[in-house]
Amino acid sequence: MTKIRLSTILLLFGAACLMAQTQSADKVSVPFSNPERAGHVEAGLVHGSITVKGYAGKEVVIEATTRSKRLSGSRDSGKGMIRLTQVATGLTVTEENNEMSIGTSSHMRAVDLHIQVPRNTSLEVSTVNEGDILIENIQGEVEAHNVNGEIKILNVSGAVVSNTTNGDVTVKLNKVTPDKPMSFVSFNGDVDVTLPASVAADLKLKSERGEIYSDFEIELQERARTMKEDNRGKGGKFRLTVESAMYGKINGGGPEFYFSTFNGEIFIRKGK
């Protein structure tokens, strides 16, 4: 009985060790050079998700977590041996003059970033594979780029530039920076944007294989824009293009807001 119990304990201990190897988190807090002034944070991944949330503190709190990655086929050839999962995040943080850059070894394995920043922080974040981008409660300029994943930007006051190739783009703006252009783009996905009711903007709208919906009264232009290029006098070609985009105005017009998707719908919602 004692041997059985001992072997069970050892088995459970070994399983716990292996589970502990599947994830590793590195957590650091980094202040800006001048905490009284608005900062800028840039974070980029190759594989993984990025979550950024504004909070009432003055430091940037960064947590990087690796995901487990199983080896398969001929690579998992250590019969009777315990495989040690590589769990290092390779987290790097640099800061100078209120400009902070965050990176990891995400080209080797998927790493998820969870970042807390002071609310009045501008952001530039990007990822490529195996992850989404979520940004919440920010007062500043936000730039988000993804390739294979969605983008969500919620409860933001400022200006937004967002684009992804495969995924939805969802944005909810409480306030917008006056006279600042913005862009909301997906190739394979819906573009769903909520704007303040009082916003004034010029709109450029383009959905190749979907519909466009809006709560706003949009003053549409009657004709599409035509672009002409004539280089025949220089031995070149003549080219005329009639854009497929629609143009319109909200509340008399203002800076240009660009909405675009190829395979998806566009929703422009009026905030309450």
Report pLDDT digits (tens) over 142-195.
999 999 999 999 999 999 999 999 999 999 999 999 999 999 999 999 999 999
Query: What is d(CA 195, CA 171) in angstroms, rounded to the nearest whole number?
Result: 8
pLDDT tens for 208-265 read 889 999 999 999 887 667 778 889 888 889 988 767 788 999 999 999 999 999 999 9
> What band does 69 get if pLDDT is binned at 50, 70 and 90?
low
Residue that has been written with the tokens 């996905």 in this structure = 189
Tally Cβ neighbours within 10 Å of residue 217. Answer: 10
Residue 80 CA: distances (Å) to CA of 76, 77, 83, 155, 198:
11, 9, 9, 52, 67
pLDDT at 71: 39
What is the 3 state secondary structure string of the chain?
Answer: CHHHHHHHHHHHHHHHHHHHHCCCEEEEEEECCCCCCCCEEEEECCECCEEEEEECCCEEEEEEEECCCCCCHHHCCCCCCCCCCCCCCCCEEEEECCEEEEECCCCCCCEEEEEEEECCCEEEEECCECCCEEEEEEEEEEEEECCECCEEEEEEEEEEEEEEEECCEEEEEEEECCCCCEEEEEEECCEEEEECCCCCEEEEEEECCCCEEECCCCEECCCCCEEEEECHHHCCCEEEEECCCEEEEECCCCCEEEEEECECCEEEEECC
> What band does 12 get if pLDDT is binned at 50, 70 and 90?
very low
> What band does 20 get if pLDDT is binned at 50, 70 and 90?
very low
> What band does 77 get if pLDDT is binned at 50, 70 and 90?
low
pLDDT tens for 193-216 read 999 999 999 999 999 889 999 999
Query: What is d(CA 124, CA 182) in angstroms, rounded to the nearest whole number?
Result: 14
- The amino acid present at 57, given as its one-letter code, is G
List b or e across 147-164, with b for residues whose CB sees 16 or more CB atoms inside 10 angstroms: bbbbbbbbebbbbbbbbb
Whether 8 shows a pLDDT value over 70: the answer reads no
pLDDT at 108: 80
pLDDT at 27: 94
Residue 75 CA: distances (Å) to CA of 3, 70, 72, 101, 191:
34, 10, 6, 35, 41
